[in-house]
Structure formats: structure tokens, C-alpha cells
Structure 1
Amino acid sequence: MKNLALARRYAKALLLIGKEDGQMDTYRRELESVCSVFQENDNLRQILSNPLYARAARRQILETVVQKLDLSRVMQSFLLLLFDKGRVERLKDVERSYQQLADAFQNIARAQITSAVALGDAAVEGIRAALVRMTNRDVVLAVDEDPRIIGGIVTKVGDLVYDGSIRTQLRNLRESFKRGEGI
């Protein structure tokens, strides 16, 4: 819990800088980019967080990576600050917190739709429009297919889940019969 609160503080500081200089979306993209590089390169993550290697050498490696990624000066400084404070291993948590804070500031809700079959563009847009009305926010959708739900859709917006899948309805019906609430 403490680490998440700490990550949120760093994310909030970066967001405030982004609001002030108008680069909030740039920092969002750069954080995503750096996190994907770290995620793809396990050796880099291990070297940067391993105290067996000299701190100066690890910092030099990070500086080289940051320069090769062609990041803004603010992001370069931010990543070096995280390293200097011993928080570079919390970068993914910082990125996640930054995304949430930036979405809240920009009045964006992220939603996940799962259906048994591919949905057409009109259906996806209709669902998105309904979610916009329900949340009073701009909605960014991610759409997945999962044949295990048999039919219907499952929609997740933040922590709220709307489960209209046939699989869940069948499970509920089975539980109802088990309790003797059938017919």
C-alpha cells in the first residue's frame, strides 16, 4: 500500500508539471514507452535495481537508455530522479497512477467490453454512447472476444462490472435450482 501511495505522489507531481507546460499527453506516451522498454528487457530492469552494481554505472546505463529513447527533458529528469531516490523499480506503478490521474483530469473513463463473438462497429459505438451517458465522461473502449461467455457481453468500467453474459445467467439459474428456487 505504501508503495502505491508513493507511486501516486510521483505520478501526481509529473501530472502537475504536465498541466503547467501543456505536455500531459506527451508524458503519458513517454511513460508508456519507457515501461514497455523495461518490461521487454528484464536484464535492464535487474541491472538498474541491483545494488551489487555500482550506483554510478547503473545511473550511466539509465542515462544512455533515456537518451536513446529520445524523451523530453522533463521525462529524462523525472526518470533520473526516480533512480536517485531508489524508486525506479516502482516505474510501472507510477505509470499506472499517472494514467488514472490523467484520465480523471481529462474526464476519461476506460471501459473493457468482452463478447462471445466479434462486435460490429455500430454495436461498439452504441455501447460506447450508452457508457458515455451513464458515466458523463468520454469513454475509451477496449474490445475483446471470449467464446467462453457463450453469448451477451460483459462490460467493465473502472471497478464496476455489468455482466450480461449467458454463461453468468446459466450459472445463476443453476445456483437457483440448487437452492430449490427453481420453477
Structure 2
Amino acid sequence: MALDRQTVAKRYGKALFEVVQEKDVRSDVLLELAEIKKIIDAEPKFITFMTSPSIKQEEKLAMIKNITDGASEVTTNLLDMLFDYGRIANLEDVIDEFNRLNDEFEKTVRVKVTTAIELDEDQKEKLASSFANVVGAEKVLVDSVIDPDIIGGVVMQSESCVYDGSIKSRIESIKRLLIK
């Protein structure tokens, strides 16, 4: 029975997180996985290359060796194992799950902040601090997005929480009340 992407990511991500905790190399592996994720983002055809039946195994193994050159034993073993078990296509999902578990461990929340205009650093820090208090996080990482369609205000979205204080949503709410 084939496992879906989410199940594979959860199993491998959890196992990886437990291993790095046990070996006390969490921060090193976190940095290495961030670099691998940059490679995947920069080269979207990487996964296609690694899963293509027309590419020789030796070339794929050479690519993995090139990526893991200088990496920790844990990171190298992860890529080797994913490749050997035919799960290299799930690499990005596994990294995402590992990052999610790490954020949970560090009580960190990632939030997408959408505004109509660019925010300065002080505004971002104030929003992050307020959001941290609401969700009980020790640290909030802000990903700022500009969307003029929201007209004004702010929309904050994390994995488990959405706060929509945009003028656009307030106008929509007034419209719904007027239509009733």
C-alpha cells in the first residue's frame, strides 16, 4: 500500500527530529536542511532529475554526494535513505515537517502578515509581539506580504490562527449586513 505524501513527511520528519534531539545536532541539521531547501527552491527540476527513470543511478548518487558534501552524518543518512527507499520526491515535505516540529519545540510561530503597504521593522516587531501574546509563542517569525487589495489594516495568518483586520473584510461584512 502506497503512503500519501503527508504520512511519509510526518513519519520521516518525526524520526529525523527524534534522532537530532538524541544526537544533540538539531541546530546543525536545521541549518543544513535550510540550505537543501534553498537548492530545491532554486532548482525546481532537482526532484524531477532525482526521480526520472531515464537518469542513471550513478548520476543521481553523485548529485546526492555533491549536496551532502560537508554535511552532518544525520543529513547525509536522511538523503541516502530517502533515495534508497524511493522517497526522494518527499524530501521537501520531510524538511517542512522537521521545521514544523522544530518550531513547536522552540515555541516559534511563523505568521504571514498581509498589508496594503510596506511595514517598517518597528511595525513588524510590534505585530509579532502582539501575535506572540495571543498565541502563546516565545518567538514569531514574520513573512511580510503586500496586497493593495486589502485596502488597509492587516491580515495575520499562522498555521492555526487567522486574524483579519483588513478594511476589505470590514467592507464585506457591512455588505452582508446590508443585504440581509
TM-score scaled by structure 1?
0.87
* Matching residue's letter, 1:83: F
Determine the C-alpha separation between the residues in 1 that align with 2:174 and 2:145: 25
Q: Match for residue 144 of structure 2?
A: 143
Shift of 1:96: 0.8
Question: What SS does the corresponding residue of 1:34 show, helix, strand or coil?
Answer: helix
What does 1:11-30 correspond to in 2, within 5 Å? 11-30=13-32
Determine the C-alpha separation between the residues in 1 that align with 2:43 and 2:158: 31
Determine the C-alpha separation between the residues in 1 that align with 2:135 and 2:45: 42
Indicate how the Cα distance of structure 1 residues 52 and 149 shifts in structure 2: closer, same or farther if over 3 A, else same.
same
Shift of 1:50: 1.4
Determine the C-alpha separation between the residues in 2 that align with 1:42 and 1:151: 35
Shift of 1:105: 1.2
Shift of 1:49: 0.6
In structure 1, which of residues 12, 24, 36 is the aligned counterpart of residue 38 of structure 2? 36
Q: Match for residue 123 of structure 1?
A: 123
Q: Match for residue 114 of structure 1?
A: 114
Determine the C-alpha separation between the residues in 1 that align with 2:59 and 2:141: 41
* Matching residue's letter, 2:144: V
Q: Match for residue 132 of structure 2?
A: 132
Determine the C-alpha separation between the residues in 1 that align with 2:86 and 2:146: 40
The list of structure 1 runs, each at least 4 consecutive aligned residues, that deviate by more than 4 angstroms after superposition, is none
In structure 2, stretches of 5+ residues that fail to align are none
Shift of 1:43: 4.2
What does 1:1-183 correspond to in 2, within 5 Å? 2-67=4-69, 70-138=70-138, 139-179=140-180
* Matching residue's letter, 1:90: N
- Percent sequence identity over matched residues? 24
Indicate how the Cα distance of structure 1 residues 122 and 40 shifts in structure 2: closer, same or farther if over 3 A, else same.
closer
Q: Quick check: 2:20–2:74 contact (8 Å CA) kept in 1?
A: no
Indicate how the Cα distance of structure 1 residues 46 and 171 shifts in structure 2: closer, same or farther if over 3 A, else same.
same
* Matching residue's letter, 1:159: S
Shift of 1:128: 1.7
* Matching residue's letter, 1:142: D
* Matching residue's letter, 2:132: V
Question: What SS does the corresponding residue of 1:155 show, helix, strand or coil?
Answer: strand
Question: What SS does the corresponding residue of 1:51 show, helix, strand or coil?
Answer: coil
* Matching residue's letter, 1:167: K
TM-score scaled by structure 2?
0.88
Indicate how the Cα distance of structure 1 residues 54 and 121 shifts in structure 2: closer, same or farther if over 3 A, else same.
closer
Shift of 1:26: 1.9
Which moves more between the two structures, 17-26 or 92-101? 17-26
Shift of 1:11: 1.0
In structure 1, stretches of 5+ residues that fail to align are none
